[in-house]
A and B are shown apart, each in its own frame.
Chain A
Amino acid sequence: ASPDPLITQVQPWAQELGDGVDATPYGLPIEYENDVIRRNVEWLTADTVSSINFTPIHALDGTITPQGCAFERHHSGAIDLKKQDYRLMINGLVDTPLVFSYADLERFPRENHVYFCECAANTGMEWAGAQLNGAQFTHGMIHNMEYTGVPLRTLLEEAGLDTAGDLKDKWVFVEGADASSNGRSIPMEKALDDVLVAFKANGEALRKEHGYPVRLVVPGWEGNMWVKWIRRIEVTEAPVESREETSKYTDVLENGIARKWTWAMDAKSVVTSPSPQAPITHGKGPLVITGLAWSGRGAITRVDVSKDGGKTWETARLAKPGEKMAMTRFYLDTDWDGEEMMLQSRAMDDTGYVQPTKAQLREVRGLNSIYHNNCIQTWLVRSTGEAENVEVS
């Protein structure tokens, strides 16, 4: 073999000087990574203002999603709202209706938690058949971040809940400051349990597209409830049954009857690499198969991987023990013989739930659901290393 000139010859970067500090006061990824970006599927929606794009999960590793490539979903566009102009009102069945400024929120004791946020429609385009070629498009309506914020319970107690009486059957209605307002009703039990009023993600301020300066975090529950630019929290006797909780985010079954209040996101997983946008380029031999798993009802306890479309399964290695309502990274360190594979992953959570197949889901729900598709995904990996989204018997 001839010697590698990258080693034997002095390279410019080893000879000359690089950028000084402050070349990019707020850094961006190096240009060679400029394909690791959110992408939109134009035909899905009428315009980009009321639309969604997708996290490049095929190109990420670990579990934390960088804010800059975490998927966006807006109903009336991402608004420009300054901290100084931000107000949060708590009203309804409370002892004293209150208004908080952003500075007020920063004076309450705060907490840090890592949670995934998954749009209920994630994988929704795949109900009737394999359609989109890429984990980004089939599973990218999700991100996983470390949030800093104040428990909603703290704010509700500050306003006082004696007026509400028995809290068991009470609700809170939450709405955003944007033109859509995106109102949702949340049962009081959840509101007092783990909901956060968050203002930081991954250590820094929320991005505009994720609700700067303040958003709601509703762990494990569908992303639509994570109201961005949250401006009002009302304690109510009953759910408002807003557009987002009746005409949308309800699940039509085969007989035409629809399920409502299907808030929790069930356990789900996907192999992120290899996958259609992340083919195998190195030929046979050592291969890292990796992916993500999560459950809105608890912690991931196990992920199995199949290379033969579900005939046989091997248990993958979890990078870290699963955490509640947060993403878990799994790896299957394997040796590829260069033969075709039908790659699948199957997640289990600490309730004992096992991620179902597409056939199992269709048997219960029919083909007309849009939301809550947590089926086992199959990638057909050819001997060339290229991968395709398929369904198998």
Chain B
Amino acid sequence: EKFGLGRAALPEEIAAWDGDVSPNGDGLPSGSGDAIVGEEIFAEQCAVCHGDFAEGIDNWPKLAGGADTLDHEDPLKTVGSYWPHLSTAFDYIKRSMPYGNAGTLSDDEVYAIVAYILYSNDLIEDDFVLSDETFADVELPNAQGFILDNRAETEYAIWSGEPCMENCKDEVKVTMRAMVLDVTPEENKPATAEVTQASAAKVEETEEAPVEAAAPAIDAELAKAGEKVFKKCKACHQVGAKAKNRSGPVLNGIVGGASGAVDGFKYSKALKAAAEGGLVWTPEELAAFLAKPKKYLKGTKMGFAGLKKEKDQAAVIEYLKTFAE
């Protein structure tokens, strides 16, 4: 039964959304790139999270290394050591990366980044040109490392039937206790920093920026609310003594400071132009920028939708005020 609802999808619409790439190469666009070009793009677009050598920063995924670790304790599962299909890397990077600015890479850039990841895993030479033509020449080491779900044979057949109800064991002893390495979050207490090797999903805690002594004339309550709002910014921006540039610049001293002034950060052309024009990040300018970044500064690299609520803008600005230079 047809209901006659919906309308025909136009070819341009399908082309805009249908970008998936399959293991047999279906969906690969024409284009090419090598690891040398890829290294530059990777440094700019990917290294803030994945590290200059695809080794991963903090908890962000490691993309290289881990060869021959899959049968060891805590295997390192990277594109090189674990992923079965190279198409998956292209498909994912093209559609979902860079984090916070998805879908902005050209096809050639994606080929180059994928080539750099292969190179970082010692799987190709740096002059190998990855393209839709050569894609099938690369086989990933763990291509044969997967089997289909076999629980029906290995588990279901064994773990069924009438279970034991009485005298099922001679004695019962506690063999392991969560108290020993309690990593449970508690209210009014920061998350536990020490995580021992007992966890399969073990990961290291992201470095927390310490809140520095507040300068005078800070509304402490508002700043505290701003700290919460700042969670939205933390993926890209750091503050505090140990802050480093990530995909966004360090924000120490931002309130009342000159725009485009952080050493070592590659600003967008738009922001450079604004800085040359003498833009100072007064609370008013910052609030306007934060409300709608892309509208305020056309061409900004900041891939953030904006803080709609004025009280959130005010709070985060108050919080940022607590980080002077």
Task: Of the listed stretches A60-68, A97-105, A329-337, name the one at the interface; the rest are far from the partner chain.
Answer: A97-105
Q: When the two chains form the complex, which single residue of B71, B103, B178, B191 contacts A179, counting CB atoms closer than 8 Å? A: B103
Query: Is residue A86 contacting chain B, with contact meaning CB distance below 8 A?
Result: no
- Nearest-Cβ distance from residue A55 to partner chain B, whole angstroms: 14
Query: Is residue B99 contacting chain A, with contact meaning CB distance below 8 A?
Result: yes
Does the CB pair B102–A179 fall under 8 Å?
A: yes
Query: How big is chain B's contact interface, by range?
Result: 35 or more
Query: Is residue B325 contacting chain A, with contact meaning CB distance below 8 A?
Result: no
Number of A-B contacts defined by CB within 8 Å = 295
The prevalent SS among residues of B at the interface is loop
Q: What is the 8 Å Cβ interface bit string for chain B, positions 113-137, against chain A (1 contact, 0 not)?
A: 0000000000000000000000000
Query: Is residue A72 contacting chain B, with contact meaning CB distance below 8 A?
Result: no
Q: Which residue of B lies closest to A244 (CB)?
A: B92
- Nearest-Cβ distance from residue A234 to partner chain B, whole angstroms: 6
Query: How many chain A residues touch the partner (CB < 8 A)?
Result: 107
Does the CB pair A40–B176 fall under 8 Å?
A: no
The prevalent SS among residues of A at the interface is loop
Do A393 and B88 contact each other (CB < 8 Å), given the known contacts A97-B8, A131-B198?
A: no
Residues of B within 8 A of A232 (CB): 17-18
Task: Give the docked Cα–Cα distance between A390 and B154 (Å).
Answer: 27
Does the CB pair B178–A388 fall under 8 Å?
A: yes
Task: Give the docked Cα–Cα distance between A260 and B143 (Å).
Answer: 12
Query: Is residue A269 contacting chain B, with contact meaning CB distance below 8 A?
Result: no
Does the CB pair B88–A257 fall under 8 Å?
A: no
Does the CB pair A89–B14 fall under 8 Å?
A: yes
Task: Give the docked Cα–Cα distance between A100 and B8 (Å).
Answer: 9
Task: Of the listed stretches B74-82, B210-218, B263-271, B273-281, name the one at the interface; the rest are far from the partner chain.
Answer: B74-82
Query: Is residue A320 contacting chain B, with contact meaning CB distance below 8 A?
Result: no
Do A181 and B147 contact each other (CB < 8 Å), given the known contacts A80-B305, A241-B22?
A: no
Task: Give the docked Cα–Cα distance between A219 and B234 (Å).
Answer: 35
Does the CB pair A181–B199 fall under 8 Å?
A: no
Residues of A within 8 A of B96 (CB): 75-76, 179-181, 243
Task: Give the docked Cα–Cα distance between A176 and B167 (Å).
Answer: 51
Does the CB pair A257–B95 fall under 8 Å?
A: no
Top 10 nearest A-B pairs by Cβ distance? Answer: A256-B71, A256-B70, A309-B172, A46-B59, A42-B191, A389-B178, A179-B102, A97-B9, A127-B200, A391-B176
